[in-house]
Amino acid sequence: MYATDTILKFGFPLGVLGGARFRISFLFPVTMIAIIWRMDDLLLGLLATAIVLFSVLIHELAHLLVARSAGGDMDEIHLWPLGGLEEPYGRGYLHDHFQTMLAGPLTNLLLALSCMMTLSAAQVSPLLSPFSGFEVHGGEQLSVTAWRMAFMVNWVLFVVNLLPVTPFDGGVLLRTYLSTRFSDGESRDLMVRLGLVLSMFGILAGFVFDVSELVALSAFVMILHLYENIRWYELAGDPDEFPVYDITEQHDRSSAEFFDEGSDLSDSPSESSDASEEWRLQREDTHVQQECEDRPSEEQQVDDILQKLHLNGRDSLSNLELQTLKRVSDKYRNRRQHN
């Protein structure tokens, strides 16, 4: 998923997971308290929270694995109760981006179908509405309750993440598609407008049908898009906020300057008894080899983007082109700093 730098992204660092920085949103403890309060049972509330945490973590790990298999990566995994707040980045190919973003919801769908195999149709049908709520049946075995919880959580994650608004995966996919048809400014403007309209309807519907979860979710989306709207226009009006595009002043220079030789990027790892350090160094070597393989196509992409930027201006670039240019520029700048 995608989100802007707001207080809504505040989280607690928990170390490194799968080579990416791992954080958990402050909304998770808040959600845990809300779940325990609504269920009026500490044990069941903690069980439901654990299922949510596990399901969301699997969702994000699916994004991470598919992103890496497609030549991309994720620097950070930032969990919130409905997925992640950090978007994977790739090599700028549309089909790779679609595969990466669909990996999370499809994983939750598979988990939901697996849970459904242990339940009867009468147990599953009341849980198909994402905001129907969860009822604990008297005398029901704890294992059956856990399977019903797991089904509902993963089904909700699948359905909600298909919504065509950010920060959900469906919104990221729609934004990616729009960026291929319109300029970056136009696609962002359309996404902000869509997010505000749908969140407003969601709040009204939540009040009308007395669904507090829908009100809370819609309010979150509305605040996020209001900030996105303000932030985007501030950036659009302040060229200093886009230092990455200063390289257009030197567009005649060969784009090969963005890439150092592979031998400069990796040093021979010293012998170490620390297994985790050895694993990290091996992963860096693999990443360097992948960069060397991708370098010719990436250089051509940068050449094409710089030429388009020079002739038609920044607004002519798609969102994927902006991401590619920023990623390569950051890569070049980081290497310059370490040399």
Residue 124, beta-bridge partner list: none
Give 278's Cβ-side CA count (13 Å radius). Answer: 5
Please list, in sequence order, all residues whose beta carbon lies within 8 angstroms of the beta carbon of residue 208, skipping any fewer than 6 positions away. Answer: none
Residue 76, beta-bridge partner list: 21
CA–CA separation, 189 vs 168, rounded Å? Answer: 17
Q: Please give the C-alpha separations between residue 136 and each of 19, 41, 224, in angstroms, as whole numbers.
A: 39, 10, 33
CA–CA separation, 254 vs 265, rounded Å? Answer: 20
Q: What is the pLDDT along the chain (339 residues), one digit of tens a residue?
A: 444 445 667 888 989 988 889 999 888 899 899 999 988 899 999 999 999 999 999 999 999 999 988 888 888 898 988 888 888 776 667 788 889 999 999 999 999 999 999 999 999 999 998 888 888 888 889 999 999 999 999 999 999 999 999 889 999 899 888 888 888 778 888 999 999 999 999 999 999 998 888 998 999 899 888 877 776 666 555 544 444 444 444 444 444 444 444 444 444 444 444 555 665 566 666 666 666 655 556 677 777 777 667 666 666 666 677 777 777 776 665 555 444
Q: Which of 71, 68, 101, 86 is nearest to 24 (CA)?
A: 86
Q: Is the peptide bond before 13 cis (omega within 30 degrees of 0)?
A: no
* pTM beyond cutoff 0.75: no
Helix/strand/coil (H/E/C) assignment for every residue in 228-240: HHHHHHHHHHCHH
Asked if residue 123 lies in contact with residue 108, where contact means CB atoms within 8 angstroms, the answer is: no
Q: Which helix (H) or strand (E) holds 76?
A: strand 76-80
Bin 149: left if φ > 0, else alpha if -120 < ψ < 50, else beta.
alpha
Please list, in sequence order, all residues whose beta carbon lies within 8 angstroms of the beta carbon of residue 159, skipping any fewer than 6 positions away. Answer: 130
Q: Which of 168, 62, 170 is nearest to 110 (CA)?
A: 62
What strands lie across the sheet with 20-25, from one edge to the other? 11-17, 20-25, 76-80, 83-84
The C-alpha R_g of the chain, in whole angstroms, comes to 22
CA–CA separation, 303 vs 119, rounded Å? Answer: 56
Instruction: Provide the strand spans (E) within 117-219.
Output: none
β-pair type (11-17, 76-80): unpaired
Asked if residue 202 lies in contact with residue 212, where contact means CB atoms within 8 angstroms, the answer is: no
CA–CA separation, 197 vs 199, rounded Å? Answer: 6
Q: How many CB atoms lie within 10 A of CB 67?
A: 23
